[in-house]
Structure 1
């Protein structure tokens, strides 16, 4: 079984969602199904159909989260010994050479990626181009609009 890298925060978020699904959502949908069954004829009962559909979604998400957590390799970026090299979990400050714009990203697992929070997936083109680089290096990133060059200004493990 291959291990999937996940940050400590990402694993905690998945555990919290799993806990909520098992302790709040699952009992709620079971109650809704019971109430819909009590109404009689199930063949034309929209509430029953909706509750069963929601139950299927919840059970699928629970199985998905349990699978991801069981194959997770939880990495604490603060404990990484990479000596300034960009690795999974690193927070990098970049300057786009053409525009001079600076951006900061943290390289995280696929399930944690959220560009609004400046978290990019380890499998994204920019993260793949940055892995192994040091502050002062440049990276060529294949973007939809063509190749973009970034200079690595700083690498932190927080």
Structure 2
């Protein structure tokens, strides 16, 4: 068969294939903080203004060298271009559906809502941890930010200082006490 009629790729060209960690539950809004929104916008800007034009230039140069079937620069460039385009489509969808929430504007600050920074203590051993509840695209456990759809964040929502909440963690059922709630 002529190569003009064969789809080039590795078979994983699904646009809607999103890792489970950043998949939003059906019918929910894409809440995020201003910082998370700006991070997505800057990544999109970098891809559109810098990365994609460089890759297009590389692919054009590689294509001008002749035989494309064994041209590593051309093959890699086309693959990388597809990855960039897929990421651009993903970012555009996320930004369009974003609902930016400023934690400083929250009312009822004695309760845990989106954007809250919550200090919790494990009921069994008293270990304290501090987490900020953020959007799925800006969650980073190593930086103390968890997604609002995570089991811990869902258990904490609407809790107040002094409340004990139970949730199922990957290590099994846990109970924690809310020590402090603040909005930065």
- Which TM bucket (shorter chain)? over 0.9
Task: Go from structure 1 to structure 2 and tell me whether the alpha carbon gap of 1:12 and 1:94 turns closer, same or farther (over 3 Å shift).
Answer: same
* 1:143 corresponds to: 169
The size of the alignment, in residue pairs, is 158
Segments ≥4 residues shifted beyond 2 Å: none
1:63-111 CA distance string (max 9 Å, x none): 1001100000000101111231101111001011111110000001111
1:88-127 residue pairs with structure 2 within 5 A?
88-127=114-153
SS in 2 for 1:65: helix
SS in 1 for 2:129: strand
* 1:38 corresponds to: 64
* 1:24 corresponds to: 50
Return the TM-score normalized by structure 1. Answer: 0.96
SS in 2 for 1:22: helix
Task: Go from structure 1 to structure 2 and tell me whether the alpha carbon gap of 1:147 and 1:2 turns closer, same or farther (over 3 Å shift).
Answer: closer
Q: Unpaired runs of 5+ in structure 1?
A: none
Displacement of 1:2 in angstroms is 5.1
More strand by share: 1
SS in 2 for 1:54: helix
- Cα separation, 2, equivalents of 1:121 and 1:2: 13
* 1:67 corresponds to: 93
- Contact 2:109–2:182, Cα closer than 8 Å, also in 1: no
Computed over aligned residues only, the root mean square deviation of the Cα atoms, in angstroms, reads 1.1
- Cα separation, 2, equivalents of 1:106 and 1:7: 11
- Cα separation, 2, equivalents of 1:115 and 1:30: 35
Displacement of 1:49 in angstroms is 0.7
- Cα separation, 2, equivalents of 1:13 and 1:126: 24
Displacement of 1:136 in angstroms is 0.6
